Amino acid sequence: MNAVTPLHQDAPATGTRLRALQDWVDEVAALTRPDAIHWCDGSQSEYAALLAGMQADGTLLPLNPSTHPGCWLHRSDPDDVARVEHLTFVCTRERDDAGPNNHWLAPAEAHAKIDALFEGCMRGRTMYVVPYCMGPVDSPFARCGVEITDSPYVAANMRIMTRMGAAALARIEREGLQAGGAGADPTFVKGLHSLGELDPGRRFIMHFPEELSIKSYGSGYGGNALLGKKCHALRIASWQARQEGWLAEHMLIVGVENPRGETHYIAAAFPSACGKTNLAMLIPPEGYREAGWKVWTVGDDIAWMHPGEDGRLWAINPEAGFFGVAPGTSAKSNPNALATIARDTIFTNVAVTDDNQPWWEGLDDRVPALDWRGRRYDPANGPAAHPNARFTVSAKQCPSYSPRAEDPRGVPISAIVFGGRRATLVPLVFEARDWTHGVLVGAAMASETTAAAAGQVGVVRRDPMAMKPFCGYHFGDYFAHWLSFDRSGARLPRVFHVNWFRKDADGKFLWPGFGENLRVLEWIIGRVEGRAGAIETPIGRVPNVRDLDFSGACVSAAAMEALFAVDSDGWQREYEEIGGFFDSLGDRVPPELRMR
């Protein structure tokens, strides 16, 4: 058996008193044969040692300390830059439980296939044991996990993205011992990850929801390797949520405070790279700021929502950091994000300027010196930064970070918003008629694909609730679970759909977006409060142009008319396509959705 070796001299070697965890770590070590084992404690000294080790081996490159103190650049293998949905599996005993929305393997076959890859894969490497908590450590809604990885980059990023270390381990041990005496039965999610050879032909991301476990091999990309994120917080958690009566969703959480000091919290689902972070960190237009409007960031990617005793849905952000898309982030699109990532940030696959500052398309007019692969920049080679280049940073650095973000009770949700990237057909905003119609609106959502996933960009595909890559079970059962919240005593959020991306005949965006999106949120809040008007249409309630405040917005009368137009013939075709999509999911789709 390999020795447990501290990462740095002052760190104590450790293990755990929880038998289920210790036995699993021993089993993994016997399979993967690491040269050393390090139990992560989450300390600043440990983080500094991880960074120093990666700097020494070239995994991390320091950026300009004058302009970006504490910032680093990581360059991925060129074949490892996005999620790999075609290699991502949900492994349930019954194939129908995973559903046609997931790739499926029988658990025994999946374990055998991936364990053969793990055999001896950590020789010459350190195995990091990373205990983490998704959500505030003292929240009853938080859930814990342990990731075992041979990547110091993953360990460092997990410290940023989760509550990682000693406090998480203490909760895992406490819950495990309470549940099983000596802790024989695991109550935490087990995640095993190895970089392997970074060979696309030897790459799998496998989920075993019935076992609360994840195995990922052959990728260092965040969505495939930071197992607390999409793998745990969505795929496994969505399965847990259905069993336990809550929702694990691909949603930002934003608080909008009006001039009277009242704050409404909105949960919004958009596919990756469709503006979640920009909306979560929105800065109100000048007139709104002067009037006293404020926006508070609770989370930019994932929401866990639980029914409260008052009948409302209450949400926590299970993450502690942002894993945001860099390209397109600018002083115009998201000044709060720029301020957040000005220090103590890990950048992945961005370009650099001649004075070693991070750079990406859309940031400014400078010409970079080196592209994301480290080559001298040449436009003939494509974009300087990879289109899915990322930043990892603590959420607490955000200027609009909400004081409620660490509230163990969460925040009450007034409205749920669905949205996608649609150049045509879908209005700027409309409201569902009731909860069942709202579930249909979310279930039928479609969006143009982006660079966040491997494959062709710009293809319109159905992405229910922005969960197509992330739902850990059959979509039909998932829709039924959503419908089940409409029960006696429930005070459910109103449901809306937005589309910031509608274009005119010349291919130009009709809506300016960014901070101007607050005008739409104001109407949504007005609808929640019963103050704002709307027009009944076949697709739901659409604002009359006079229902939104356009003062100071650069939107022409023609654009306003187009933004709220409802094309009956086009929607008839859309409904036929939705029906075909539901047909593809089989007979588990709730009949209530087909009747709407």
Residue ranges for the known binding site are 83, 221-223, 230, 250, 272-278, 301, 388-390, 421, 514-517
Q: Cα separation of 215 and 90, whole Å?
A: 11
Take residue 370 and report the two structure tokens written for it.
């080196």
- What residues are paired with 74 via a beta bridge? 348
* Residue 316, SS3 per DSSP: strand
Q: Cα separation of 385 and 358, whole Å?
A: 9
**Contact yes or no for 89/204 (Cβ under 8 A):** yes
Q: Cα separation of 574 and 420, whole Å?
A: 14
CB contact burial 91-117 (16+ within 10 A = b; e otherwise): bbeeeebbbebbbbbebeebbebbeeb
Residue 182: CB partners within 8 Å, gap ≥ 6? 19
Residue 61's nearest CA partner among 50, 49, 72, 75 is 72
Q: Dihedral of CA 526/530/535/541: which sign?
A: positive
**Contact yes or no for 301/223 (Cβ under 8 A):** no
Q: Dihedral of CA 39/43/46/47: which sign?
A: positive
* Residue 518, SS3 per DSSP: helix
Q: Which residues line the annotated binding site for GTP? A: 273-278, 390, 421, 514-517
Number of Cβ within 10 Å of residue 43's Cβ equals 16
Q: What is the DSSP code (8-state) at residue 497?
A: E
Number of Cβ within 10 Å of residue 69's Cβ equals 13
Residue 389's nearest CA partner among 423, 352, 421 is 352
Element holding 479 (H helix, E strand)? helix 475-483
* Residue 563, SS3 per DSSP: helix
What number of residues does the chain have?
596
Q: Cα separation of 101 and 468, whole Å?
A: 7
Take residue 368 and report the two structure tokens written for it.
């970079």
Q: Cα separation of 192 and 225, whole Å?
A: 9
Cα–Cα distances (Å) from 239 to 5, 144, 470, 535, in that order, read: 36, 15, 11, 38
**Contact yes or no for 315/305 (Cβ under 8 A):** yes
Q: Which stretches of 508-562 are assigned E, i.e. beta strand?
A: 535-537, 540-542
Amino acid at 426: V
Q: Cα separation of 35 and 504, whole Å?
A: 59
- What residues are paired with 303 via a beta bridge? 249
Q: Cα separation of 185 and 187, whole Å?
A: 7
Catalytic site residue 91? no
Catalytic residue among 121, 231, 274, 471: 274
In the chain, % helix, strand, coil (3-state, to 5) comes to 30, 20, 45
Give the catalytic positions in this structure: 274
